[in-house]
Structure 1
């Protein structure tokens, strides 16, 4: 029976970490550090809950599910499960996450050279050509990414992290905007925006297939190795985030009027290393975003090719071209478009993931989980519509809930519904037993 050595487990963990650390992971923490200022501990705590804690839990759930997202969503019924799964893959794929990898790498690698308006278009063509080139050969993913690209990416991130800790560029400012009144909820929201919980649902399949490509067939070993890789990735994320929070916290004198974390990061690296820093940051971000784009494209291609008549190669070409086109709307616009959609669907996936670990105690998982997921979606939808100027009555409903100010208006209704349906489930079982 084929097994992994310790070295193989760490290579797998590095692959998982490298897949996670993409555009959102690098651009959001510096902006949080800058804007949260002296309230950074509250904002960082909220961010780490949704940006690290939930993705690691999701990685564990996916390991137990053998990399199958449908195993997580199955209690909602066949049609709802399919709709949730497709929504997840599209959001983490060609609609938001994959295009964002190209826009972030462009902003940090080339935009400060003040290229023409066609600069992003040309960059996106080159970027997605590389994505296609690697993604077309999924069997080589562990060798290409895990052994080569991941170590380079990790070394570059560690250099940036320790520089941020050792070379501050200023002193923390008072919290700005919403960070002055609700830093914890802002941290939670920005943790959503990394999309790492959704990414973990997608990367679960990539990790399982990478393990299987090495000849491991035992379900128990696959689960164990996937679990280890998720924990390694989680530790790596915390270390990197600590450095990036510090970077933003000490960049107050460099980035007045910054609208996204890419601008904060670029200003700090230029301050610390000069023109050579611009080159370093460009290489780092291109590597970081390229690895994530390859992982997401491969995962989307694998899932859709398994469930449609289209071949894996056709799916890779389609998703890459679609992502290339969408990326040309720019980074700030992509983030603005993603906020309401993620606000609506993210809480539903959180409920499904957390209840996955409790299903053995349910007599009917559908009876217990579906009402809670539906209530969660209603409150998430209310918050999403409120963000884009939706109906006032929806905002009034959501604003009366506890924890509304922390971006968690859905939490208590979901917990209450889940508790009620759990009790009903056990009462029904006892009545049937009698």
Structure 2
């Protein structure tokens, strides 16, 4: 039986880590560190649960069913599962996340040097998606191109930044903002939830499994084992990156006072620490981080849609790269405005799907449990999504002020309540075969 060598397993872990760490992952922790002040590590604990724990668990859940999201969603039926999978792939693919990797890397890394002109964005995004196209064209070589080449470069750049955060702090830890004084763990938890890495994990699952298969591994048991190891390596890497960026933000109070986002904190710290080389270093780091993520998203989307559409993988890579190029030139502000409501709506049912996939031995029929709980999570997610739209005033107070609404987790209590009810019904009904008998 063919097995992976130690260096291949390490490369697979590096690749998985590199796929997850995009610009958003680098930008969120510094602002949490800056705003949480002396409560930084309590906020970090909450953040790590949702930004590291959930994605790793999702990778494990997908590995157990072969990597495909539609296999994971089988309990809710082909039509509903297909719609959910397509929504997730489109949201974290060509509609929002993939174009956003280009706009974020441009605005954070390059715009301070070139200016934010439409022409500069177009030229940058054209070169950017040309690279994405060429690397994505050969998914079988992804372990070599990303795992052995791009990922190590990305890790070296992040390591330099992480070591500097501890060895060369920009100053003392400042005071916390009122919300972090009141509930640091909760605020960190919510910010980790908003990174949307669980959706990314649902999309990357098939990329990881295919990378393993590209090495001739066919045993389902070995594929699951290697995917879990890769997820754990990625989880450790993510945690180390986040911890160093929390420290960076917490010590940047003097150089980044009043910063409204993590990009401003990063830019201020890097400029202060590395001087004239700071902006160039940050540009390379952000561009490299985003490029690897964009490649993973493009490969995953092309792989998925090539199985349900009469189009080849290579044709879809071309379409996805061109479409992402066009959308990226709308600008970051518009992209974020469009993406937040959609992602807010589809994220809760995806979390429910992953969580319940580990509990199927506790009930007789999965369909009785998974479908109703996901439906409630989706409906409440849609209500949460509407809060960020012009129709927010039309939502009744009883729905807009549900428990945990302020934390972006309004779906949690209704979903858990339906889970308990569905579980009791499942126990009363028993196995379907028994009922028919």
TM-score for both structures, normalised by structure 1 = 0.94
Over 3 Å counting, the alpha-carbon distance change for 1:337 and 1:190 in structure 2 is farther
Q: Confirm or deny that 1:49 pairs with 2:49.
A: yes
Contact 1:12-1:146 within 8 A present in 2 as well: yes
Structure 1 residues 29 and 394, CA gap change in structure 2 (3 angstroms): same
Match in the other structure for 1:235: 236
Q: CA deviation at 1:391?
A: 4.5
Q: Say yes or no: does 1:311 pair with 2:280.
A: no
Q: In the alignment, which residue of structure 1 is the partner of 2:141?
A: 140
- Mapped pair 1:225 → 2:226: yes
Alignment partner, residue 385 of structure 1: 386
**C-alpha separation in 1, matches of 2:71 and 2:394:** 36
CA distance in 1, matches of 2:176, 2:257: 14
Question: What's the offset of the Cα at 1:257?
Answer: 4.3
* Contact residue 23 and residue 100 of structure 1 kept, 8 A: no
Structure 1 Cα separation of the partners of residues 396 and 273 of structure 2:
45
Given that 2:37 and 2:173 are in contact with CA atoms closer than 8 Å, whether structure 1 keeps it comes out as yes
* Matched-pair contact (CA < 8 Å) for 2:94–2:320: yes
Q: Do structure 1's residue 88 and structure 2's residue 88 form an aligned pair?
A: yes
- 1:194-215 residue CA offsets vs partner (Å, 9 max, x unmatched): 2211111111101111111101
Question: Could you tell me how far 1:263 is from its partner in structure 2?
Answer: 2.1
Q: Deviations over 1:227-271 (max 9, x none)?
A: 100001001000000011111112222234434322221121111
Match of 1:271 in 2: 272
Counterpart residue number, 1:352: 353
Counterpart CA distance in 1 for 2:325 and 2:158 is 26
Q: Which residue of 2 aligns with 1:251?
A: 252
- 1:78 aligned residue: 78
Alpha-carbon offset, residue 377 of structure 1: 1.4
* Per-residue deviation, 1:399: 4.9
Partner Cα distance (1:326, 1:206) in 2: 24
SS of 1:40's equivalent in the other structure is: helix
SS in 2 for 1:309: coil
State how far apart, in whole Å, the 2-side matches of 1:116 and 1:332 are.
12
Cα–Cα, structure 1 residues 352 and 48, in superposed 2: closer, same or farther, change >3 Å? same
- Within 2, Cα distance between the matches of 1:384 and 1:42? 28
Who is 2:65 aligned against? 65
**1:418 matches 2:419:** yes
Cα separation, 2, equivalents of 1:398 and 1:39: 32
Matched, 1:104 2:127: no
Per-residue deviation, 1:77: 2.0
Give 1:221 shift.
0.4
For residues 407 and 321 of structure 2, what CA distance do their matches in structure 1 show? 36
Q: Does 1:204 align with 2:205?
A: yes
Query: How many angstroms does 1:393 deviate by?
Result: 6.4
Q: 1:383, 1:395 within 8 Å by CA — same for their partners in 2?
A: no
Q: Which runs of 5+ in 1 are unaligned?
A: none
Contact in 2 for aligned 1:164/1:247 (Cα 8 Å): yes
Q: Deviations over 1:258-308 (max 9, x none)?
A: 343222211211110011122222222221111111111111111111210
Pick which of 26-35 and 254-263 moved more.
254-263
* TM superposition shift of 1:177: 6.5
What SS does structure 1 have at the residue aligned with 2:198?
Answer: helix
Give the match's secondary structure for 1:110: helix
Q: What is aligned with 1:335?
A: 336
Asked if the contact 1:107/1:262 (under 8 Å) is kept, the reply is no
Q: CA deviation at 1:182?
A: 4.6
Provide closer, same or farther for how the CA distance between residues 2 and 46 of structure 1 changes in structure 2, counting only shifts above 3 A.
Answer: same
> In the TM superposition, what is the alpha-carbon distance from 1:394 to its structure 2 partner?
3.6
Whole-Å Cα distance in 2 between the matches of residues 32 and 331 of structure 1? 21
3-state SS of paired residue (1:2): coil
Give the structure-2-normalised TM-score.
0.94
Deviation at 1:401, TM superposition (A): 3.4
SS in 1 for 2:67: coil
Query: What corresponds to 2:29 in structure 1?
Result: 29
* Deviation readout 1:73-98 (Å, 9 max, x if unpaired): 22222221111001100111012211
Give, in whole Å, the separation in 2 of the partners of 1:391 and 1:335. 18
Matched residue, 2:17: 17
How many pairs does the alignment contain?
434
Tell me how far apart the structure 2 counterparts of residues 222 and 67 of structure 1 sit (CA, whole Å): 9
| Residues 273-312 of structure 1 mapped to structure 2, 5 A cutoff | 273-312=274-313
CA RMSD of aligned residues (A): 2.0
User: CA 1:246–1:335 in 2, change beyond 3 Å: closer, same or farther?
Assistant: farther
